[in-house]
Structure 1
């Protein structure tokens, strides 16, 4: 028989009564409060602490930026979290604020961390005058100009749809048809590769802007560049017959010897293959006004005198010059211009903008209009000498033939002419007039090669191109002026 176990007597445990409530009741209330607190922290507290919506901004213009309450938010057509409240929204493109409005965002709170509350902002109305519209169009054209500097695109170098952006913006801006046609004409002149040309044709089809005869001419010329087989293009070069005269430009601290060239019509370039970039040397009819060209490239001593009176261009101000987009990191690298040690070595590692500033300074000192020569002026000076020598050093020796020294060799020389890829096989004068009318930044042409180039590979027709802020070891300049 199983033995019975006798448990000891214990005192009965009784939960205390709280606020006259039985234990079961207040425990239920306590558990309910805890559950509600957890639910509140999970479902409502995040939304209370971070109230707002994920807003998508729709812009009427391509590649627009959104500024929220004075702070740049990012590109339009993307989604951004915007806190609850009233906000000022501004749409930007190319440095132009073209639309603005007030945005009210409410304060949803339930499970906002799990289910994002979104808001779609409608397309704002444009608030632009004609000058601002043209500035935006010029910005689109700059993107096309930059794309045209690349000869081919692939999986590594990816292509952005620059022509479709321009076509869409022209439609949204509702500009006059003449302005739209001129913008497209200039844009097509930068079609330097097959990828750009194909996208340009698609954009033209979608733009519904009637084509001009010049547009059609550009398209035909561009298509022929990328077809099989080669043909010749450009007028044949003929040596101009001119009588130049010696002259000089007195700047006080120094005198620039030079030569005066009369107004002349001639062929700049030569007959060449109808391929790109060979067409950069295609011969075109050119007329230059009477001008004077310095016999030597601007030297380091002359640059030192310029720096004395223009301290903003000193090397010590490099960071500020870079920030303003006037030079790059190579400005005056390895050079210490001095007014104590006179040298005739050409200045180099200077940019197009720096050279323009030197010309402005020299104009003020001499009372004459001093400027960088155009490509036509430079070519005329080089082509007018039968025995032009290639200078394979940076120490120019005066010529006994009464001709400019180191037009070939020395350093690549900046000109005031911008590079437009298809200008020489379409309408050279009209192309440059379009470039000026839209105020695009220059892509200056450089001429003459440098002392490190093979003399056989450089002629007066050779064309190089640099960025306007580029400073290279082999880039310098000489000046021209009107008598």
Structure 2
């Protein structure tokens, strides 16, 4: 038999009594409270501390921005967390506030960190005046104008569907048929790459747009630019003899010599390859009125006289000019125009806006209409020059032949003609008229090259283009006026 093991006697363990409750009771209550606290912290507290909903805004216009309580939130069709409470929502497009909405967001609390509470705001009804509609269309067209400056799009340089945006907005705005068609006609003139062409074709097809004859012509012309065939385009014709006469423009302290040209019709450009950007030189028939053109480019001395009477254009006021979008940081860089030393060196590193201001000032001093020459005016002067040579310096020498100096070389010369990529292979005059009717920003054509260019690469047909606020190292101008 096994021996019986006798255990020593020990004192019994007794759990303490709390509030007259047995241990099993109060432990159950403590565990229950702990579970409730955990559940509260996990399921309810995040929602209480951060109450709101994830809101998606729809809009009737493409690329609309949302402003929430005066602060820009972002583009529509994206989801944003909006805190609980009442909010004021504004819909913005191209700087135009076209709708407002009073938004009331409730305060859901249960498991909001896990199950996002969402809310979708339907697109507001449009009730816009003609001025606001025009501003929105103008913005869309300028987006297309800017996109045309990029010839290749990739993963780094991404393409925005600018034609789809324009057509969608035109349909939503419910505008007059004539304005609708003219906006599309102008937009198609800015196709410079296959990505834009495809976007335009798809947008027109998606919205079943009835094409005008001009739209059809422009699309066909744009398509031909990217064809594999090595075709050519443009007219080619020599300018006949043109009799110009000496004249001058008296402007108080100084006189601007020039030459008066009679009205003329001629072919501007030449026969060239049917591809972009070769078509910039495609020959077209144009007519210029009678006008006068200055012999020299505007000089640094003349600019100093302008600054003396127009201090807002002083270099010391650069920050303000940049803020207004009239110039860039390079304005008058490296130059100190002075009225003490008379020089005929051309002014440069000035913008199109600055040149326009100079012309306005000169008009007020002379009582005549002074302006930047058009591309065709500059070209007829170059074509009628009997001995057009490239000026490889910034010190113009008077011509013994009594003709304008430094039309080629010197500095690139600003014109008043806006750059429209497909104008020369469609309808040049209509393109200019459409540009003017919609008031697009003028990206001026520059002509003649600068003294630093290779003379072999620059001719009287060469077309350059700049933004109106850009102050390139060697961008200047000469003036024209009506007698």
Cα deviation, 1:279-300, whole Å, max 9, x if unaligned, reads: 1111111111221111111122
Partner of 1:187: 187
**CA distances 1:217-244 after superposition (whole Å, capped 9, x unpaired):** 1122222222222333222232243222
Indicate the SS of the match to 2:192: coil
Q: Which residue of 2 aligns with 1:15?
A: 16
Contact 1:414 1:446 survives alignment (8 Å): yes
**Aligned equivalent of 2:291:** 291
| Matches for 1:297-316 after TM superposition, within 5 Å | 297-316=297-316
**Cα distance in 2 for residues equivalent to 1:195 and 1:67:** 31
Cα displacement (A) at 1:163: 1.2
1:61 aligns with 61
Map of 1:438 onto structure 2: 438
Q: Which residue of 2 aligns with 1:97?
A: 97
Distance 2:74 2:151 in 1: 30
Question: Where do residues 49-88 of structure 1 align in structure 2 (5 Å cutoff)?
Answer: 49-88=49-88
C-alpha distance in 2 between matches for 1:22 and 1:151: 84
Contact 2:84 2:104 in 1 (8 A): yes
- Point out where structure 1 has 5 or more consecutive residues left out of the alignment: none
The within-5 A match list for 1:32-431 is: 32-431=32-431
* Residues 15, 23 of structure 2: 8 Å contact kept: no
Alignment deviations for residues 178-216 of structure 1 (CA, whole Å, 9 cap, x no partner): 111111111111112222222212211122221111111
CA distance in 2, matches of 1:463, 1:379: 11
- Tell me, in whole angstroms, the C-alpha distance in 2 between the residues paired with 1:438 and 1:143: 13
Instruction: Say yes or no: does 1:454 pair with 2:447.
Output: no
Which runs of 5 or more residues in structure 2 are unaligned? none
Paired residues of 2:360 and 2:370 also in contact (CA < 8 A): yes
- Aligned-residue offset at 1:151: 2.6
Q: Following the alignment from structure 1 to structure 2, what is the Cα–Cα distance between the partners of residues 330 and 251? A: 28
CA deviation string 1:146-184 (max 9, x = no partner): 222223334443332211111111111111221111111
TM-score by length of 1: 0.95
Q: Kindly indicate whether the alpha-carbon contact (under 8 Å) linking 1:177 and 1:209 is maintained by their aligned counterparts in 2.
A: no
Q: TM-score, normalised by structure 2?
A: 0.95
When structure 1 is superposed on structure 2, of 101-110 and 136-145 the one drifting more is 136-145
Aligned mates of 1:151, 1:108 — CA distance in 2: 50
CA RMSD of aligned residues (A): 1.9
Is 412-421 or 248-257 further displaced after alignment? 248-257
Q: Quick check: 2:279–2:425 contact (8 Å CA) kept in 1?
A: yes
- Between the aligned partners of 1:167 and 1:469, the Cα distance in structure 2 is 29
Give 1:430 deviation, angstroms: 0.3
1:403-458 Cα offsets, whole Å, 9 max, x none, are 11111100000001011111111110001101111111111100001111222222
Q: SS state of the match for residue 168, structure 1?
A: helix
